[in-house]
């Protein structure tokens, strides 16, 4: 597997001062006979933590030749993307429900989301290099983030290594682990709430399977895949171990299931599950609102008969 578009350097060199790259790097993967260029993007909530980074991603997409596939919701963030890979399928109804429920039951999360949305829209540049000071945490919204290798970026962002992260996803699904990942950069505070329900590693498998099956179905030899950062190194690890037949048994089993689900999805057989996904989100929100209404009614009743 080859990394292209840039020469990776270390964090010390970046902190010492380097120029910004014009486009993001990608990982070149050959999977099932299809060449897939996987671009890891810090898409945040609106496409990036600042306007400069969104322009950087749009420039990268414009420079990529061929069909541009993308993670769910990215077409609304950037220009030039052709097809979303429908990775919502790997967010199980239970996780969608709990995410929506817990989000509404935690006022701080809602405050964080609103604050982040406003900040991303009005901020012109990242804070990296502000007043001549290069703070590592501020890289996670700067084009120079992509001068680090995908693995170094993963570590800087605060995520476990791929195999550990896949195992964490499986343990969360089986209710054996509820651990949250905390992120040092305040611009990504919202992700601390979202990440436990995101099924990021399983969606990574879905993304690469969808990409190659889509290409085969449409007689395309190569595609570009734009995904959130972390998915790219997840995909690299998965494909590498899949080819070597060294995937842990539990991950191998679930990956086969995902492969079949993607096949059915591209045949139009699983489209109805998107309704389940949306209904689960709605049910979580309504359940949270019901809790607030119950508290308000009880308070009013108590005040009336006091």
Selected residue with higher pLDDT from 6 and 145: 145
Q: What is the pLDDT of residue 217?
A: 97
Whole-number Å distance between alpha carbons of 157 and 240: 22
Whole-number Å distance between alpha carbons of 92 and 199: 8
Q: Provide the CA 21 distance to its chain's centre, in angstroms.
A: 22
Ranges of beta strands (E only) in the chain are 2-4, 26-31, 34-41, 67-70, 83-84, 222-228
Task: Give the global pTM.
Answer: 0.93
Residues 6+ apart with CB under 8 A from 95: 197, 198, 199
Q: pLDDT tens digits, residue range 66-99?
A: 999 999 999 999 999 999 999 999 999 999 999 9
What are the tokens at 20?
């910004």
CA terminus-to-terminus distance, the chain = 71
How large is the average pLDDT for residues 263-276?
93
Q: pLDDT tens digits, residue range 4-21?
A: 556 899 999 999 999 999
* Cβ neighbours of 233 (radius 10 Å): 24
* Mean pLDDT taken over the chain: 93
- Kindly report which listed range (91-100, 197-206, 238-247, 249-258) carries the lowest average pLDDT score: 91-100
Q: Is residue 27's pLDDT more than 80?
A: yes
Whole-number Å distance between alpha carbons of 53 and 269: 37
């Amino acid at each position: 597997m080859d990394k292209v578009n840039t020469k990776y350097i270390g964090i010390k060199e970046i902190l010492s001062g380097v120029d910004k790259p014009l486009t993001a790097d990608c990982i070149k993967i050959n999977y099932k006979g299809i060449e897939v260029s996987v671009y890891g993007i810090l898409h945040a909530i609106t496409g990036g933590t600042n306007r400069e980074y969104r322009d950087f991603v749009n420039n990268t997409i414009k420079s990529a030749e061929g069909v541009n596939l993308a993670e769910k919701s990215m077409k609304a963030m950037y220009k030039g993307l052709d097809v979303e890979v429908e990775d919502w399928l790997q967010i199980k109804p239970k996780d969608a429900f709990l995410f929506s429920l817990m989000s509404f039951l935690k006022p701080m999360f809602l405050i964080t989301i609103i604050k982040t949305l406003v900040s991303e829209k009005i901020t012109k540049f990242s804070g990296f290099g502000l007043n001549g000071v290069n703070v590592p945490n501020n890289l996670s919204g700067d084009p120079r983030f992509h001068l680090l290798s995908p693995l170094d970026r993963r570590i800087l962002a605060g995520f476990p290594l791929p195999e550990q992260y896949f195992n964490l996803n499986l343990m969360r699904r089986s209710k054996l682990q509820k651990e949250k990942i905390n992120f040092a950069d305040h611009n990504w505070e919202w992700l601390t709430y979202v990440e436990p329900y995101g099924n990021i590693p399983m969606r990574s498998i879905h993304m690469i399977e969808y990409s190659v099956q889509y290409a085969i179905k449409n007689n395309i030899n190569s595609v570009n895949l734009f995904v959130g950062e972390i998915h790219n190194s997840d995909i690299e690890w998965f494909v590498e171990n899949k080819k070597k037949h060294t995937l842990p048994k539990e991950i191998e089993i679930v990956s086969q299931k995902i492969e079949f689900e993607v096949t059915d999805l591209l045949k139009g057989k699983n489209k109805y599950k998107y309704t389940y996904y949306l209904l689960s989100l709605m049910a979580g929100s309504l359940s949270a609102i019901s809790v607030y209404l119950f508290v308000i009614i009880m308070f009013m009743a108590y005040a009336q008969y006091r």
